[in-house]
């Protein structure tokens, strides 16, 4: 089946630093999604990417849909303590009989020290 490799697995940073994480896939996706999960909660969508090469921002977050359609990147600028959580990438098969099934990366655990 499809596999997503997400890295790094964890990050410990100081408040104010920038953060980068990425996902690579063994197959092509039509859509790349980035979710954040706070402790005790479900994943919440941060950014959705629909086209190869697309670069999209949401406040201090910027994500890119790789040209090959097999990778995606998420950057967080000027991190703050509330950025703490687990960040997941997910590839979505949108067409045909796939019914929008998601394949998730393993997650990046982000810790921000004040």
Partner 1 sequence: NAGVTQTPKFQVLKTGQSMTLQCAQDMNHNSMYWYRQDPGMGLRLIYYSASEGTTDKGEVPNGYNVSRLNKREFSLRLESAAPSQTSVYFCASRTGGGAKNIQYFGAGTRLSVL
Kindly state the DSSP code that residue 70 receives in the 8-state scheme. Answer: S
Q: Please, what is the minimum distance in Å from the beta carbon of residue 13 to partner 1?
A: 20
Report angle CA 17, 23, 24 to the nearest 5 degrees: 145
Closer to partner 1 by CB, 13 or 102: give it: 102
DSSP-assigned beta bridge partners for residue 31: 92
63-92 positions binding partner 1, by CB under 8 A: 88, 90, 92
CB 21 within 8 A of CB 6: yes
Closer to partner 1 by CB, 32 or 73: give it: 32
13-52 positions binding partner 1, by CB under 8 A: 30-31, 33, 35, 40-45, 48, 50
């Amino acid at each position: 089946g499809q596999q997503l490799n997400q890295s790094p697995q964890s990050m410990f940073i100081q408040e104010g630093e920038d953060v980068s994480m990425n996902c690579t896939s063994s197959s092509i996706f039509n859509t790349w999604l980035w979710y954040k999960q706070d402790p005790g909660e479900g994943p919440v969508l941060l950014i959705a990417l629909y086209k190869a090469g697309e670069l999209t921002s949401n406040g201090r977050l910027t994500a890119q849909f790789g040209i090959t359609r097999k990778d995606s990147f998420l950057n967080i600028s000027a991190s703050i303590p509330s950025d703490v959580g687990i960040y997941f990438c997910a590839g979505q098969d949108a067409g045909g009989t796939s019914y929008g099934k998601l394949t998730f990366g393993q997650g990046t655990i982000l810790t921000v020290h004040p």
